Structures are given as structure tokens and as C-alpha cells.
Amino acid sequence: MKKNYQPYRKSGFFVFAAISLLSLVIVLLLLAQKLYKANAAYAAVFEKNLELEKEIKAQKGENQDLQEEIAELSTKTALAGLAVKGTQLSDQQGSPLVLRGLSSHGIAWYPEYTNYRLLKTWKDYGANVFRVAMYVEQNDGYLEEPELNKKLMYSAIENSLAAGLYTIVDWHVLRDEDPNRHIDEALALFEEIAAHYGDEPGIIYEICNEPNGKTTYKDIKNYANQVIPVIRKYAPDAVILVGTPRFCTTLSEAIEDPIDYPNIMYTYHYYAGVSDCKFAMKEISEALEQGLPVFVSEWGLDSYEVTEEHLTETKNFLDFLKQKQISWVNWSLCNKDEGYSLIAPDINKLYGWEQHELTDTGRFVLQYLSLETD
């Protein structure tokens, strides 16, 4: 019997199969393309994540290094408290402590020479004290620019302390001659600084640089008896330096009538070729014999007029100070075109100088500091 089937159309089946297969291939190709793009994007993200992880690790390393540096700095720069025992500057345990270092020039004129790296350079050279000189009456001094000078003072103090240096706050009387002339401003400034740094053992207060003209020791003592209590309110144990008549070159009246406060020292200034070396050593010796503590807050050597005689006198004077364990500060750390500057006037580097970039005075001070620390 003949079966009643529809004719089998092979050609139609093959066409359908081919179209289906082609569609499947296209779909697979599209999927492969998307997968490739996804893999590429993932690879890019993965690579970026690896770079980010490296950056994070590097940053963590830098942060760790910074934290260690801060910790090390905090440990290294912690300064012991000071006291005056008899005629000797001492630490709080009574052990003699001699300070040797540098003074700024006027901070309103040469503020760049109070930066941290500069001070750290001199600390590495052997200095352990930095004097911040703030002029009172000169151009751009405190009277003309009080806020600017205070900002510069704070910046210099912070840099000096961070470098591990004892720091002298110097009310730089000069043209004004008598410190009583601007006593109200002095009282306000020292009260602010002492209130801010009352607990800081590394701060020394120099309340009047170089009284001169007709200023008598009685004038100076009257001024000191008003300023010292203001500082003592906040810094009861701080060492205070008091200027003496005739540009800090005579101590005889202070010997006869010393100021009745503890932790007070009297300043003496010495400049080769200007000062009489024998007189200076005799004056200081007599003061020490009479129990008067002395601090040489300025000495200088003029590079432009230096002679063998000046060099010999200066060496003799510094050797005398070493023998007597008297602290000293050299004038001045800047590149001003004058003989007393430590840095040559054509040198603009602010730290890390070569020997030839210093003046003759700068090289002399550097050599002496190095010898003292050997």
C-alpha cells in the first residue's frame, strides 16, 4: 500500500539549517566581541588597581617615614630647661651648659635667613642657639610694622626650636637708645610671646639690646623691673638677658646694683677693632668675681677690615669665653653687604653653603664652632 507522506524537501531544510548556523555564529561573534571588550576593560581596571595599590603602599611608606621623622625630630629637638646657678648658665640639674650660635640680622629685612633648613645646617655645624633680632625703631621695625614683625618672629622661633636650637627673643633697641622710650610696646610684645611660649624651656628673653646714648643703668633697671614680672607671669623659670649701658660694654654698675630676680644674666658685646679686648676680658672677669652672670649676646669680626691683630684678639676673646664657660652669639647670619655677615653678598643660597660661599668671618665662625664640638 502506498504511504500518504508529504514529499521531503531536502533543499529547504538545508537553507534553514544554514541560516540558523550563520545566526548562531554571528551571535557567538558578538558575544565574543563583548567578552573581549569586557576582558580588556577588566584588565585595564585591574592594572589601574595595581597601580593604585602601589601608590597607596608608597604613600603609606612616605607617611611612615614622615611619622618616624617627626618622632625622631621631637626626640632630638627636646630642649632641657635652663637656669642660672651662680654665674653659670646651667640645665635644670645644675650641670653647666654653654650656648654658642648665631644672631639673625633684622628679621623684617632678612627673614629668609631664619628658615628651618638654614638653621638645621648651622645646628649640624655645631651651633646650639639662635637669636631672633627684632628691631624696634628702624625702618620696617616693630613700631612701623608690628603685625608683620610678630609673624616673622613666630616663624623664626618655630623654625629655630624645630632645628633643636635654644632661641633668644631679642627686643633690638638701638636707634631708640633708651628702652623706656617704647616700654608700652615692649610690655605688650613680651606678654604675648611669654603667654604663647611660657611652657617652652628653649626660649630665652633678651629684653633690651644695646642701651646707649644718655641711657643710664638706673634707666635700664627701671625698665627691667617692669618687663621681667610680665614675662614671669607665664614663664616663671625662663632665663632673661638684660642689656647694659654704652652698647652693652660696661658691667660695673650692674655689679654694684644687680636686679633682684633669679635666672637673670647681663649682656656684653664685643667687636674686634672696635672693642678693647683686654678691657672686655677684665670687665667680664670682675663681673664674674662679684657673682654677676654674663652672656655675650653679640660679638663680631669685620671681614672687610680684618687684620691679623683683629683675628688674634678675637681668638683670645673666644678662648677666654671658653675658659670661663660663657655663652656667646655671633652677629650676623645673612648676606648683607657688610663685614660682619656670615654669607657672601653675591650668594643667594639659603642653606647648605660651600666654604667659598661664606665670608672670611663666616669661615672663621664655622671653624670655631666645629672646634668647640669636637
Out of 206, 210, 283, 313, pick the active-site residue: 210
How far CA 124 is from CA of 127, 155, 374, in Å, comes to 7, 20, 12
Sketch the domain layout of the chain as residue ranges: 8-76, 82-373
DSSP, res 96: B
Sorting pLDDT into bands at 50, 70 and 90, what band is 87? Answer: very high
- Contact between 327 and 98 under an 8 Å Cβ cutoff? The reply is yes
Least confident range from 7-21, 125-139, 243-257: namely: 7-21
* Residue written as grid cell 678662648: 319
Q: What pLDDT shows up at residue 321?
A: 98
Active site residue 298: yes
Rounded CA-CA distance 82/143 in Å is 31
* Residue written as grid cell 656670615: 342
Q: What pLDDT shows up at residue 258?
A: 98
C-alpha cell at 22: 550563520
Tell me if residue 203 falls in helix, strand or coil. strand
Q: What pLDDT shows up at residue 8?
A: 47
DSSP, res 129: E
Per-residue model confidence as pLDDT tens digits over 192-239: 999 999 999 999 999 999 999 999 999 999 999 999 999 999 999 999
Out of 206, 283, 298, 313, pick the active-site residue: 298
Domain 82-373: homologous superfamily in CATH: Glycosidases (3.20.20.80)
Q: What pLDDT shows up at residue 65?
A: 61
How does the average pLDDT of the chain come out, rounded?
A: 90
Rounded CA-CA distance 282/14 in Å is 126
Rounded CA-CA distance 264/242 in Å is 7
C-alpha cell at 336: 648683607
Rounded CA-CA distance 345/358 in Å is 9
Which residues, 6 or more positions from 358, have their beta carbon under 8 angstroms from its beta carbon?
342, 343, 344, 366
**What Rg do the C-alpha atoms of the chain give, in angstroms?**
36
pLDDT of 367 > 50? The answer is yes
Sorting pLDDT into bands at 50, 70 and 90, what band is 1? Answer: very low
For the chain, the 3-state helix, strand and coil shares in percent, each to the nearest 5, are: 50, 15, 30
Rounded CA-CA distance 128/134 in Å is 20
Segment 349-358 long-range contacts (CB within 8 Å, at least 24 positions apart) = 350/112, 350/113, 350/115, 350/117, 350/118, 351/115, 351/117, 351/118, 351/120, 351/121, 352/117, 352/121, 353/121
Q: What pLDDT shows up at residue 142?
A: 98
- Does pTM top 0.85 for this prediction? no
Q: What pLDDT shows up at residue 54?
A: 73
DSSP, res 8: P
Least confident range from 36-45, 144-153, 250-259: namely: 36-45
